[in-house]
Each structure stands twice: as C-alpha cells, then as structure tokens.
C-alpha cells in the first residue's frame, strides 16, 4: 500500500516538475493534485528536493527498463534494435524530460555538484543494461568484451538527443544522415562485440 501511494506521489510530482520545474513547484500543489495533505508527503519524502531526485531516479529506471526491452527483443535484428535505441534517445526530451534536462545541465556545466551522482547513475546503469543484453546476444559465450565499446555507444548515443535540436539549424535531412551514420557505426561495433 505504501509503495502504491509513493508511486502515485512521484507520478503527480513528475507532471508538476516537468511543467513548472523544481523551483516553481510546491508540495502544496502536489498534495492538492492528489487530494491529500501536505504533511502526508513528508511521510514518504524528506523535502521537495528529495521528491524531485526520487522522481529523477524513477524516470531513470523507466528509461533503463525500456532500453533493456529494446535490446533483449529477439524478434528484431541488431540494426532494428539499435535504431529503436537511437529513436528512444531522440524522444528523451519529451518522454523522459527530467532526465533529459538534467543531462543538458550537466553538459552545459550548470548541474549542481550533488546532481552528478544522478547523471553517473544513469550512464552507468545504461552501460550495465547494454552489457547484460549483449552478453545474452553473444554467440561465443566464454569470450568477454571490453567496456570501451559500450561506453562509446552510450556516450555517443546521447548525441542523437541533441541532434534533434539541430534540425532547425542544419535541416532534418542532415540530422537523419547523422543518425544513419551513428546507426552504421554502432551496428559495426556491436556486431564485433557479440561475434
């Protein structure tokens, strides 16, 4: 029961944080959205900031579950999985808005020092999910692979999220060509990794 209530609070908070940001969202508004007292929120969360960062953790775990689902889908070939992965990254700015905004703050060197742990958790979680999925896909089970390739894919795949913003500058066709180049590169690397 407590887990369900906490989940409901996080979902309601996510809507507020996405729309108004951390500073302009109040616990009173979140409590009102849920038809509960503000004091009840303090049973589950220490502060508004605690709720905000737990909401980011929740979004991160949803995103990692989706990435895992993409790569363990045996009905699709490797290229289709990579394409779905890149599409997820493109949609991140709307689908996982809090995670995306935190990454933008990190890239622009405006993230707070304690927020770096959330970026690190996301990137390390993504490496872990991708590595585990690739181990399942690996043909030669005893042979291991270097994490360098996985780090390369994870870090460079975030570029696709930024490419979406560049459509207005370079045009959709140029952005699509960039996506295809990434797709080709990632497919080549992962084909070697799982061989």
Render 117-160 in DSSP notation, one character per residue. Answer: HHHHHHHHHHHHHHHHHHHHH-SSTT----HHHHHHHHHHHHHH
Top-confidence residue, 161 or 118? 118
Residues in the chain: 195
93 and 112 belong to one structural domain: yes
pLDDT classification of 134: cutoffs 50, 70, 90: confident
pTM: 0.91
Q: What 3-state DSSP class applies to 109?
A: coil
Say if residue 41 is in the same domain as residue 63.
no
Domain CATH code at residue 38: 1.10.10.60
Domain boundaries, position 139: 53-194
Over residues 18-44, the pLDDT tens digits come to: 999 999 999 999 999 999 999 999 999
CATH number at residue 175: 1.10.357
């Amino acid at each position: 029961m407590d887990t369900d209530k906490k989940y409901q609070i996080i979902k309601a908070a996510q809507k507020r944080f996405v729309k108004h940001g951390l500073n302009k969202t109040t616990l009173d508004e979140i409590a009102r959205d849920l038809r509960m007292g503000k004091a009840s929120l303090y049973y589950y969360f220490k502060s508004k900031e605690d709720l905000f960062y737990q909401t980011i953790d929740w979004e991160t775990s949803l995103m990692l579950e989706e990435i895992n689902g993409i790569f363990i889908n045996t009905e699709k070939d490797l290229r289709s999985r990579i394409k779905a992965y890149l599409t997820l990254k493109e949609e991140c700015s709307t689908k996982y808005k809090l995670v995306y905004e935190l990454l933008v703050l990190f890239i622009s060197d405006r993230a707070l020092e304690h927020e770096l742990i959330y970026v690190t958790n996301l990137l390390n979680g993504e490496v872990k999910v991708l590595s585990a999925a690739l181990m399942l896909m690996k043909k030669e089970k005893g042979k291991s692979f270097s994490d360098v390739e996985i780090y390369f894919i994870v870090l460079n795949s975030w570029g696709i999220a930024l490419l979406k913003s560049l459509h207005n500058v370079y045009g959709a066709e140029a952005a699509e060509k960039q996506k295809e180049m990434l797709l080709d590169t990632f497919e080549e690397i992962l084909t070697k990794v799982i061989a």
